[in-house]
Amino acid sequence: MEQASDALIRFLATERGLSPAYQLSVRQTLDALAGWLVKRGCVLRDVGTDELAAFLSQRKQDGLNAASLRITTVHLKVFFRWLAGQGRLEMDPAEPLISPRPDLTLPETLHASEVQILLDSIDPAPFLGRRDLAILELFYASGLRLSELCKARLEVMDFDEGFLRVTGKGNKTRIARVGSKARAALEDYLHNERPALVTKRSSSHVFLTIHGTVMSPDRVRQIVKRRAALAGIEQNVYPHLLRHSFATHLLEGGADLRVIQELLGHSDLSTTQVYTHVDRQRLKAVHRQFHPRG
């Protein structure tokens, strides 16, 4: 099992060029399967569809939700299809497996007025105020993922046109729009604060720590939470919440779903369609509140 897992991960990395994060996710699934097989006294060649179904059932009992089970099922299908294709197994036992339908969980969002309060609360004058304001403005204006913001470099920014080239999931590149407010905050930070953070070992990453190094995702999360707390917002605020708010507010403003899909970097429109459910929920709430027979 271990040798087969290692071989698949090498294949995903070298032949498919899939991201380290995806490789790690597959590895975690296969490690869990290996541990389960050891407990049952099974080896890889003994695995059939019934065994895989029992493994998934156990994972569900362990607390995995439908979305995580769906991902686990996909990993199993990738693994066993590859084994069968390599001739290491006579047949693919994962082929009959049916992925569970993911639960419809509506993304959390902030109201537009709350976003306004959050951004207006940041005073750029104190040290790092310009950086923190630029971070939050960019999250909300461009709908960036946390990893995309951390990886953003100076050479991929076009201030004249108001665009930023980012690399998202699966190493896919897209053009993110930078609005006027975010552009102004970025220019202020880059001209008036970032130079003081640069050291001899600094890279061209846009956002730097006080030591001149690249900002880690954990540090950016801390900044977002701290700024929200200082603004008096009681809701749990995190980077992806601003991305959800970006998409939801675009939809509420009348933006086409296909445009939102492109701006978010979703490969599948079905992923973007969850925001239509958010908008419907909002419409229902407004109707109940204001209609005489709501």
**SS3 letters across the chain:** CHHHHHHHHHHHHHCCCCCHHHHHHHHHHHHHHHHHHHHHCCCHHHCCHHHHHHHHHHHHHCCCCHHHHHHHHHHHHHHHHHHHHCCCCCCCCCCCCCCCCCCCCCCCCCCHHHHHHHHHCCCCCCCCHHHHHHHHHHHHHHCCCHHHHHHCEHHHEECCCCEEEEECHHHCEEEEECCHHHHHHHHHHHHHCHHHHCCCCCCCECCECCCCCECCHHHHHHHHHHHHHHCCCCCCCCHHHHHHHHHHHHHHCCCCHHHHHHHHCCCCHHHHCHHHHHHHHHHHHHHHHHCCCC
> Rounded to whole angstroms, how far apart are CA atoms 167 and 35?
35
Q: Is 131 a catalytic residue?
A: no
Is 145 noted as a catalytic residue in this protein? Answer: yes
Q: Which one of 59, 145, 227, 244 is the catalytic residue?
A: 145
Q: Which of 60, 153, 225, 240 is catalytic?
A: 240
Catalytic annotation on 211?
A: no
Which amino acid would we find at residue 165?
R
Clarify whether 275 is annotated catalytic.
yes
**Which one of 70, 81, 165, 169 is the catalytic residue?**
169
Catalytic residue among 130, 243, 244, 249: 243
- Tell me, yes or no, if 287 is annotated catalytic: no
User: Which of 59, 131, 183, 266 is an active site residue?
Assistant: 266
240 noted as active-site residue: yes
- Active-site residues: which are they? 145, 169, 240, 243, 266, 275
